[in-house]
Amino acid sequence: MTAIHCLNGPNLNLLGTREPGIYGAATLADIERTLQAQAARLDIALTFRQTNHEGELVTFVQEAGAAGAGVLLNAAAYTHTSIALRDAIAGTGVIAVEIHLSNVHAREEFRHVSRIAPVCAGVISGLGPYSYVAGLDALAHLLRERRPSAS
Ligand code: DQA
């Protein structure tokens, strides 16, 4: 079975109350429920995790790599700063898709830079919680394309 780890970075545990004008009303638990339903439809084993700590996010990427899973990654603010995270994606060779709820390119300039985009297969930004669903679909497609024997 295709495995995907959806990894979430700092402050995403606050979704629902955090700047709702930017991030909307859905909580991370709401997003996880929607994503698990989509994963079941696609026959994907989905692991969903969140951390506020950079090193722990690096460990999560390494664990996904060791498990042979693809990575759906909302690295939140670490997107814009973390060379360690970039190195973890490159070093493990995981297939990763970068996602964001908000359109980072319509926001402050510091959000226009992604340290991880160059080592990700693609980027989805600005679709709200649907960014997660679109990212899961895209990643499932990529993983199946690369491993046609996987079901
Ligand atoms: C975010 C965008 C980031 O710039 C920000 O730091 C976040 C959330 C998003 O999902 O829109 O924490 O990744």
Q: Tell me how many degrees the CA angle 49-58-104 measures, rounded to the nearest 5.
A: 75
Predicted confidence (pLDDT) per residue in 20-71, tens digit: 999 999 999 999 999 999 999 999 999 999 999 999 999 999 999 999 999 9
Predicted confidence (pLDDT) per residue in 75-121, tens digit: 999 999 999 999 999 999 999 999 999 999 999 999 999 999 999 99
**Two tokens, residue 69:** 């899973």
- Binding site membership of 104 for ligand 1 (Cβ less than 6 Å): yes
Q: pLDDT confidence of 150, banded at 50, 70, 90?
A: very low
pLDDT recorded at residue 149: 54
Half-sphere exposure of 79 (CA within 13 A, CB side): 31
Q: Ligand 1, residues 13, 18, 52, 102: which to mutate, most atoms within 8 A of Cβ?
A: 102
Q: pLDDT confidence of 146, banded at 50, 70, 90?
A: confident
- Collapsing DSSP to helix, strand or coil, 68 comes out as coil
